[in-house]
Amino acid sequence: MEFSIKQSNPEKQRSGCVVVGVYEGGKLSPAAQALDKVAAHHLSDLIARGDMNGKSASTLLLHKLPGIAAERVLLVGLGKASELSNKASVEILHAAFAALNATAAKDAALYVIDEGVGKDAATSTSSGQAWVIKQAVFAAAEQAFRADGMKSKPAKAAALKSITFATLEKPSAALKNALDQAVATAHGMELAKTLGNLPGNICTPTYLAARALALGKAHKSIKTTVLEEKDMQKLGMGSFLSVTRGSEQPAKLITLEYNGANKKQKPIVLVGKGITFDSGGISLKPGAEMDEMKYDMCGAASVLGTIQAIAEMGLKLNVVGVVPTCENLPSGRATKPGDIVTSMSGQTIEILNTDAEGRLILCDALTYSAKFKPDTVIDIATLTGACVIALGHVASGLFSNEDKLAKELLAAGEQAYDRAWQLPLWDDYQPLLDSNFADMQNIGGRAGGTITAACFLSRFTKDYRWAHLDIAGTAHKSGKDKGATGRPVPLLTQYLINRAGK
Ligand code: BES
Ligand code: MN
Ligand code: ZN
């Protein structure tokens, strides 16, 4: 899909469809007014007849209006101007692209960014217009995304190939820059969604490594390295290796080094959980919905998606992606409850539940990350079911050992409408990890399960500034809409854009 911004008159737009807004009660947006004037009050007439009430996210498709150059006009309801929240804006954009994709229009011009859409998102670093452009690109990409690549007869792709964000006034350079960033971010989300949706028998650790190597091939700025189990053995990664023992698939430790700035600049390290299937291991999960544990590599997928996005943007920053990846399966060789392992840090861990495996692979990857002398380390993981209970499917859980970093990530989440919510990392929770036999145990009981998981990780991140994102509730949807969301690629990418000062 191609995106562009340009200033133009709605009635003169030669395109498959012109999209304009109508407020609840029938008030026309300025672009709709311009059309109405040329089209002999066609629009105000049909509104007076009651065919379009302007309710938020409603749509009405019209054909061949008199005096209008475009083949179609799509009216989208903007609701009440006073109620145009971020949430409503995103829903309106999704409704517009869903309606566009149901037509045969190959191109469309949208007059939405001149409206107040998204105005409560205007911040010091992004205008309301930039916010709308970004959300519009994400909505267009999401509505065009197909997950049926493995069906024998995939559905035909939508006809829509080219989208113009049309403005009544000349667009600023900052707005054009926001569009380029949004497009690269959407591509990164697409990669993360595609990888997340792939089944475990295809998306193995070896497959993820191949995709990471391909990213290195496609971008000169990315260098990919893959460590094998024997290398990890030498590094003393006894915790990570304990998780892969039951699997026939070899574990991999992938690193992607993106160099966008001076070599001397300390990198930001992103560590992504890459369990390509989590059966729970010997502490086997119940059968219902176990298929969704193919999504247990969505942290890894978000790291690949984010690195691809910033490479496409050419962000002036150094970023390293670290992806520990393996399967968690039961077998005669698998790790058992009660087993004690030694992590790369030297700390010993009593594994009381083999289903708390994410922290076991992450702790060694976090220790390993110190070798890059990081400015900041952020890990991203579908870590705990308890996070889904705490925050549902709206916000990712956020923890940090530095409040300034937490605030920056929360703000990036707001800017990208990919939000997180901070939870406490207080010492008061640490004793729940005490073990009689080892330095710690890998579970802290049912109470505060998301927090004790983060506390576990905090024992391996003392030497640098660190944050942890628990994306168990946000990385994928279940039920009828089952599928990866591409989150938190928008949050991470926005954070990195902000860090690059662009
Ligand atoms: N991958 C799961 C967490 C998860 C659950 C992600 C639901 C997405 C949806 C993780 O490895 C896990 O199994 N965690 C356990 C931890 C428990 C044994 C302490 C959990 O949440 O039940
Ligand atoms: Mn698990
Ligand atoms: Zn898991």
Using CB distances shorter than 6 Å, the residues near ligand 1 are: 278, 296, 353, 355-358, 382-386, 388, 443, 449, 472
Average pLDDT value for residue range 481-496: 98
Q: Is the model's pLDDT at 120 over the cut of 60?
A: no
Distance CA 271, CA 323 (A): 6
**DSSP secondary structure string for all residues of 414-439:** HHHT--EEE----GGGGGGG--SSSS
Distance 186 CA to ligand 1 centre (A): 28
Judge whether 211 and 204 are in contact, CB under 8 Å.
no
Domain residue limits, the chain: 2-171, 191-501
Q: Are 387 and 470 in contact (CB under 8 A)?
A: yes
Q: How many residues does the chain have?
A: 502
With the most atoms of ligand 1 within 8 angstroms of its CB, the residue from 275, 284, 329, 384 to mutate is: 384
Structure confidence at residue 124 (pLDDT)? 43
Q: How far is the CA of 202 from the centre of ligand 1 (A)?
A: 22
* Among 134, 245, 359, 419, the one annotated catalytic: 359
Separation of alpha carbons 205 and 148, rounded Å: 22
**pLDDT tens digit sequence for 18-73:** 999 999 999 999 999 999 999 999 999 999 999 999 999 999 999 999 999 999 99
What distance in angstroms lies between residue 437's CA and the mean position of ligand 3's atoms? 24
Average pLDDT, the chain: 96
In the chain, the amino acid numbered 63 is H
- Count the neighbouring beta carbons within 10 Å of the beta carbon of residue 306: 32
DSSP-derived 3-state class of residue 108: strand
What would the pLDDT profile of 249-282 be if each residue is shown by its tens digit? 999 999 999 999 999 999 999 999 999 999 999 9
Measured between alpha carbons, how far is 267 from 264 in angstroms, rounded to an integer?
Answer: 9
Q: Distance of CA 465 to CAs 89, 243, 259, 378, 403, Å?
A: 35, 27, 20, 9, 10
Ligand in closest contact with the CA of 292: 1
452 CA closest ligand 1 atom index: 19
Could you name the CATH architecture of 2-171?
A: 3-Layer(aba) Sandwich (3.40)
For ligand 1, atom 7, which residue shows the shortest CA distance?
385
Distance CA 357, CA 443 (A): 10
**Atom number in ligand 1 closest to CA 285:** 13
Of 37, 285, 336, 465, the catalytic one is 285
Ion ligand 3 residues within 5 Å by Cβ: 275, 278, 296, 358
User: Matching CATH topology for 2-171 and 191-501?
Assistant: no
> Is 359 marked active-site?
yes
Nearest CA to ligand 1 atom 22: 385
- DSSP-derived secondary structure letter, 28: B
Is pLDDT of 129 > 90? no
Distance, in Å, from the CA atom of 284 to the CA atom of 218, rounded to the nearest integer, reads 39
Mean pLDDT of all residues in 218-232: 98
* Catalytic status, residue 419: no
- What is the whole-number distance in angstroms between the Cα of residue 296 and the centre of ligand 2? 8
CA-CA distance, 88 to 86, in Å (whole number)?
5
Closest CA to 194 of 215, 224, 217: 215
Q: Which atom of ligand 1 is nearest to the CA of 442?
A: 19
How far apart are the CA of 406 and the centre of ligand 2, in A?
26
**Banded pLDDT at 126 (limits 50, 70, 90):** low
Pairing outcome for strands 59-63 and 483-484: unpaired
Is 60 exceeded by the pLDDT of residue 123?
no
List the CATH code of the domain at 191-501.
3.40.630.10
Give the relative orientation of helices 42-49 and 30-38 as an angle to the nearest 10 degrees.
110
DSSP string, 182-246: HHHHHHHHHHHHHHHHS-TTTS-HHHHHHHHHHHHHH-TTEEEEEE-HHHHHHHT-HHHHHHHTT
pLDDT beyond 70 at 122: no
Q: Output the residue whose Cα is nearest ligand 1's atom 5.
A: 385
